[in-house]
Amino acid sequence: DAKTTQPTSMDCAEGRAANLPCNHSTISGNEYVYWYRQIHSQGPQYIIHGLKNNETNEMASLIITEDRKSSTLILPHATLRDTAVYYCIVIRGDDKIIFGKGTRLHILP
Amino acid sequence: DTEVTQTPKHLVMGMTNKKSLKCEQHMGHRAMYWYKQKAKKPPELMFVYSYEKLSINESVPSRFSPECPNSSLLNLHLHALQPEDSALYLCASSQGQPSYEQYFGPGTRLTVT
């Protein structure tokens, strides 16, 4: 019952912007979009979340389409340390985090 | 201090052993979580403690027994595990529950022989 669809893997050149897409076409009005990443041999790390508006923090930007059926996580200047599995998660206020398969992002030197 | 610590980092145990995993945070968070992650799979929620009370048990077998002695500590007691229980066990914490901005520890890699 995955609520999100993400590409299995992506490559990005070091120094370029990494744009990770996520489809969540069945999202409800009160459901948030959260992004986490998991670097190899580490625990997951919270990146950013949003409801309707675009969001930016020191790690990334989150662009949510107007119909909220998809979103894009942007890492503006990718480094080798950004190589990780990126999880896009749709959450309602009383739900648990359910991690999907995520996107394996490879940053190429 | 924005760190969740877990001990031990690695654990090998036999099927008749009793062992415990430990998790600690000093961020003043009032919710703590145990997740299980099998190789090449995403993390799966096992237990949630909110204000030191068990609030979610995801139908986890009784050979896993969580304990929250105080708001900073979370234990997972293991007894009579099976080889298929070998996995990375992750602890996380958050300010309250539900909260989806969770801080994860590095995990304990458990091998059951």
Q: Which tens digits make up the pLDDT trace of A41-91? A: 899 999 999 999 899 999 999 999 999 999 999 999 999 999 999 999 998
Nearest to B11 by CA among B65, B89, B72, B69: B89
Identify the pLDDT of residue A30.
Answer: 87
- Across the interface, do A44 and B90 touch by the CB < 8 Å criterion? yes
Please give, rounded to a whole number of angstroms, the shortest distance from the CA of B96 to a CA of chain A. Answer: 12
Please give, rounded to a whole number of angstroms, the shortest distance from the CA of B57 to a CA of chain A. Answer: 11
Percent of chain B topping pLDDT 90: 87
C-alpha to C-alpha distance for A80 and A74, rounded to whole angstroms: 15
Residue in chain A lying closest to B36 (CA): A43
- For chain A, give the mean pLDDT: 93
Q: Give the tens place of pLDDT for each residue, B2-44.
A: 699 999 999 999 999 999 999 999 999 999 999 999 999 999 9
- Residues 6+ positions from A37 with CB-CB distance below 8 Å: A44, A45, A47, A82, A84, A85, A86, A87
| Three-class SS of A73-101 | EEECCCCHHHCEEEEEEEECCCCCCCCCC
CB B2 within 8 A of CB B27: yes
All residues of chain B having their beta carbon less than 8 Å from the beta carbon of residue A87 are 42
- Across the interface, do A101 and B48 touch by the CB < 8 Å criterion? no
All residues of chain B having their beta carbon less than 8 Å from the beta carbon of residue A47 are none
**Backbone angles phi and psi of B30, in degrees to 5:** -110, 0
C-alpha to C-alpha distance for B56 and B45, rounded to whole angstroms: 9
Alpha carbon distances (Å) from B63 to A67, B71, B79: 46, 23, 5
- For chain B, give the mean pLDDT: 94
Q: Is the pLDDT of residue A1 over 70?
A: no
CB A100 within 8 A of CB B42: yes
Substitution target in B55, B100, B102 with the highest count of A β-carbons within 10 Å is: B100
Substitution target in A92, A97, A103 with the highest count of B β-carbons within 10 Å is: A97
pLDDT confidence bin for B97, thresholds 50/70/90:
confident
